[in-house]
């Protein structure tokens, strides 16, 4: 029998323990002398759930992009939508609407440089010729298609300046024509070999591929046929093992490394099958969790894909990520933490997920209670000097700051906590409650809030604390009460709140002035937040619907994250965007609930090789 060395040209390494793993170890074999086992790293393929679209469930949408930068355009709700959403690898956020409310447009290119054309508007039913180019934020008219086409969905491939459209549907039947876009106009290409629509496209203008889809009348079969494009001619290549009608795929992937997933089987039931292509052969891969057709898809290789929206037995907004990796991905989630000893709302917090501090609030009377959290349970410690609610708080468990709030009336009182005792410091210049807070004990920010009877006008003023006194900073552009804050004194973040009504406005602070950031997905006040200016988390809020939604901010835009188990307003937040605490709050009654957020993680794991 051949030895391992004879087959692979290398000896099996003997190591005391498993090495620190990365992708370079994929396929390598070593002997772990510590455990006495033969080990290797094997790539595992799997679909995992991710955050749902922000807007309504939809199908028959246009889609393109990669797994971490995907684009969704239009679709049917039912009733056609012009909604555009972008996925950043964690969640979806809305963007500028498409100029038409449309079903089944073709999308080719990337999230920041796409071309969109065709599709159907209704009523009356019109197969569109219009083309629009997208730069990541706005739409500009391009050259029109020679003839209107619908049911193009995920079939386009190429780039904004070198795209290909093929097939499609018109009232006269399923088409076999193709067109090429050069960044300004479409010109006719050669015909495809099999008339089809709602198929999957991938690759480039000179090395493209179309696969599956729905074929021509009278049976409208779910096709297995695949064709490669060389820039001139479509050539039939090896077929897929399963017909995928109304399908999608990793359409920013190269011709030689892609996946196709979902769709329908004849006569139209949704499927969850996934197949990968290596340039020659198709291989069956793990199924999606949710069988769906008329879905959106994106991805950049046979190792990474994104499936979203579509039609199961009804339209859906759910998202799944496909990965082929040595890493095991674990989705973000909120879990229960230790309960507060007394139900409390409108409190403040500081510290981290495993070393937190909560202070003040309504319990239900205004309290000066202070509690510390060790990652499991809350323990009462020395009280603040001044009982208050709706106050600002920041810092660490052993170096926290409490400022403002209502006693009543509104106060500017400031207290520092050293891990044992609170000591009174210089008051804020403007007494206020319901204010935003950020920073640390020796470099804090207080902004916005309420100085009177909780009605406009609200203060826009920002105050900066240096460890001993407050000075005026730059005013918020949008004066508000009950915002959330994150970040530092020189890189702060204000988001949400009420003007009245509630606002989705986000502002970024640079140490002297506020500038607009990306808007929250939902306008919300009485929310909580934590993290940094470029890595923040928003959760909960109200005022009347006690929201459970969580959103994450990357310095540019907000996107969805898994929701709290218990939706609530007037809660406190602490920690980071990947290890957060949601504390107390109000959902009709004050809450004792603590929840702990853990962000998505990925871990490389070595497998033990056995003879069985």
The footprint of other proteins (CB under 8 A) covers 49, 330-331, 333-339, 345-346, 362, 364-366, 375-377, 389-390, 406, 408, 433-434, 450, 453-454, 543-544, 546, 548, 562, 565-567, 570, 586-589, 592-594, 596, 598
Angle made by CA atoms 246, 248, 253, in degrees to the nearest 5: 155
Which residue number, 123 or 588, has a Cβ lying nearer to other proteins?
A: 588
CA 325 to chain centre: 20
- Cβ at position 573, least distance to other proteins in Å: 17
Is residue 116 a contact partner of residue 106, using CB atoms and an 8 Å limit?
Answer: yes
Which residue number, 280 or 544, has a Cβ lying nearer to other proteins?
A: 544
What tokens appear for 70 in the block?
A: 């995907």
Q: How many residues does the chain have?
A: 612
Which residue number, 146 or 364, has a Cβ lying nearer to other proteins?
A: 364
11 CB-near residues (< 8 Å, 6+ apart): 4, 5
- Cβ at position 325, least distance to other proteins in Å: 18
Q: Is 539 exposed, middle or buried (0-12, 13-18, 19+ CB in 10 A)?
A: buried
Which residue number, 130 or 596, has a Cβ lying nearer to other proteins?
A: 596
Which residue number, 3 or 544, has a Cβ lying nearer to other proteins?
A: 544
Q: DSSP readout, 509-532?
A: E-SS-EEE-PPPSS--BS-EEEEE
**DSSP state, 6?**
H
What tokens appear for 107 in the block?
A: 């999308």
The H-or-E segment that residue 5 falls in is helix 4-8
Place of tokens 């409208």: 220
CB count in 10 Å sphere of residue 33 = 11
CB count in 10 Å sphere of residue 13 = 12
- Cβ at position 139, least distance to other proteins in Å: 36
- Cβ at position 59, least distance to other proteins in Å: 20
Which residue number, 162 or 389, has a Cβ lying nearer to other proteins?
A: 389
Which residue number, 124 or 588, has a Cβ lying nearer to other proteins?
A: 588
- Cβ at position 524, least distance to other proteins in Å: 16
- Cβ at position 482, least distance to other proteins in Å: 8
Which residue number, 242 or 369, has a Cβ lying nearer to other proteins?
A: 369
Which residue number, 377 or 421, has a Cβ lying nearer to other proteins?
A: 377
Is residue 510 a contact partner of residue 491, using CB atoms and an 8 Å limit?
Answer: yes
Is residue 221 a contact partner of residue 266, using CB atoms and an 8 Å limit?
Answer: yes
- Cβ at position 454, least distance to other proteins in Å: 4
The H-or-E segment that residue 4 falls in is helix 4-8
Q: What are phi and psi of 372, to 5 degrees?
A: -115, 150
- The CA distances from residue 151 to 29, 166, 200, 264, in Å, are 48, 11, 11, 14
Which residue number, 423 or 589, has a Cβ lying nearer to other proteins?
A: 589
3-state SS, residue 290 = coil
- Cβ at position 576, least distance to other proteins in Å: 16
H helices of 425-543, where? none
- The CA distances from residue 171 to 76, 245, 610, in Å, are 19, 19, 59
**DSSP state, 8?**
H
Which residue number, 120 or 430, has a Cβ lying nearer to other proteins?
A: 430
Which residue number, 175 or 410, has a Cβ lying nearer to other proteins?
A: 410
Of 232, 259, 230, 264, which is closest to residue 247 (Cα–Cα)? 264
Which residue number, 104 or 360, has a Cβ lying nearer to other proteins?
A: 360
**DSSP state, 161?**
T
Of 211, 148, 201, which is closest to residue 175 (Cα–Cα)? 148
What tokens appear for 131 in the block?
A: 């083309």
356 CB-near residues (< 8 Å, 6+ apart): 349, 350, 372, 373, 397, 574, 575, 581, 583
- Cβ at position 77, least distance to other proteins in Å: 20
């Amino acid at each position: 029998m051949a030895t391992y060395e004879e087959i692979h040209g290398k000896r099996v390494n003997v190591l005391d323990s498993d090495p620190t793993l990365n992708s370079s170890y994929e396929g390598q074999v070593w002997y772990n002398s510590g455990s006495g086992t033969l080990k290797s790293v094997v790539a595992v393929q799997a679909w995992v759930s991710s955050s749902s679209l922000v807007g309504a469930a939809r199908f028959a949408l246009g889609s393109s992009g990669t797994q971490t930068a995907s684009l969704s355009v239009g679709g049917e709700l039912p009733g056609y939508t012009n909604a555009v959403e972008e996925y950043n690898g964690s969640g979806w956020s809305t963007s500028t609407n498409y100029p038409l409310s449309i079903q089944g447009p073709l999308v080719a290119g990337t999230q920041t440089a796409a071309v969109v054309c065709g599709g159907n508007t209704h009523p009356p039913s019109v197969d569109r010729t219009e083309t629009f180019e997208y730069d990541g934020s706005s739409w500009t008219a391009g050259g029109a298609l020679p003839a209107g086409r619908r049911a193009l969905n995920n079939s386009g491939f190429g780039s904004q300046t070198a795209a290909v459209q093929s097939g499609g549907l018109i009232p006269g039947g399923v088409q076999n024509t193709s067109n090429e876009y050069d960044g300004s106009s479409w010109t006719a290409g050669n015909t495809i070999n099999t008339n089809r629509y709602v198929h999957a496209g991938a690759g480039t203008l000179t090395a493209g591929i179309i696969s599956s889809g729905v074929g021509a009348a009278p049976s409208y079969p779910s096709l297995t046929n695949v064709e490669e494009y060389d820039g001139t001619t479509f050539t039939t290549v090896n077929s897929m093992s399963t017909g995928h009608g109304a399908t999608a795929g990793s359409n920013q992937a190269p011709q030689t490394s892609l996946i196709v997933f979902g769709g329908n089987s004849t006569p139209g039931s949704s499927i969850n099958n996934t197949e990968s292509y290596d340039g020659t052969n198709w291989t069956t891969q793990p199924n999606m969790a949710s069988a769906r057709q008329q879905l959106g898809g994106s991805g950049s290789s046979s190792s990474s894909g994104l499936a979203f929206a579509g039609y199961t037995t009804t339209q859906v907004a759910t998202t799944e990520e496909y990965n082929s990796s040595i890493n095991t991905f674990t989705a973000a989630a909120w879990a229960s933490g230790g309960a507060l000893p007394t139900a409390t709302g409108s409190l403040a917090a500081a510290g981290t997920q495993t070393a937190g501090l909560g202070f003040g609030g309504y319990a239900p009377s205004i309290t000066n209670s202070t509690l510390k959290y060790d990652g499991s349970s809350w323990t009462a410690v020395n009280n603040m000097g001044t009982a208050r609610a709706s106050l600002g708080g920041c810092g660490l468990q052993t170096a926290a700051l409490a400022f403002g709030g209502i006693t009543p009336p509104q106060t500017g009182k400031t207290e520092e906590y050293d891990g044992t005792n609170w000591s009174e410091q210089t008051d804020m210049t403007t007494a206020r409650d319901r204010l935003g807070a950020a920073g640390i004990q020796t470099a804090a920010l207080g902004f916005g809030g309420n100085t009177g009877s909780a009605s406009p006008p609200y203060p826009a003023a920002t105050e900066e604390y240096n460890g001993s006194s407050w000075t005026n900073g730059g005013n918020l552009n949008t004066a508000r009460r009950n915002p959330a804050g994150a970040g530092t004194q020189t890189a702060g973040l204000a988001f949400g709140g009420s003007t009245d009504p509630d606002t989705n406005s986000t502002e970024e602070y640079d140490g002297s002035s506020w500038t607009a950031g990306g808007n929250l997905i939902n306008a919300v006040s009485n929310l909580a937040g934590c993290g940094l200016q470029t890595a923040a988390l928003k959760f909960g809020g109200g005022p009347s619907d006690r929201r459970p939604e969580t959103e994450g901010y990357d310095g540019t835009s907000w996107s969805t994250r898994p929701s709290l188990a218990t939706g609530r307003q007037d809660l406190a937040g602490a920690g980071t965007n990947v290890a957060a605490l949601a504390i107390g709050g109000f959902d009709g009654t004050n809450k004792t609930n603590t929840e702990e957020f853990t962000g998505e993680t990925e871990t490389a794991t070595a497998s033990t090789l056995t003879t069985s």
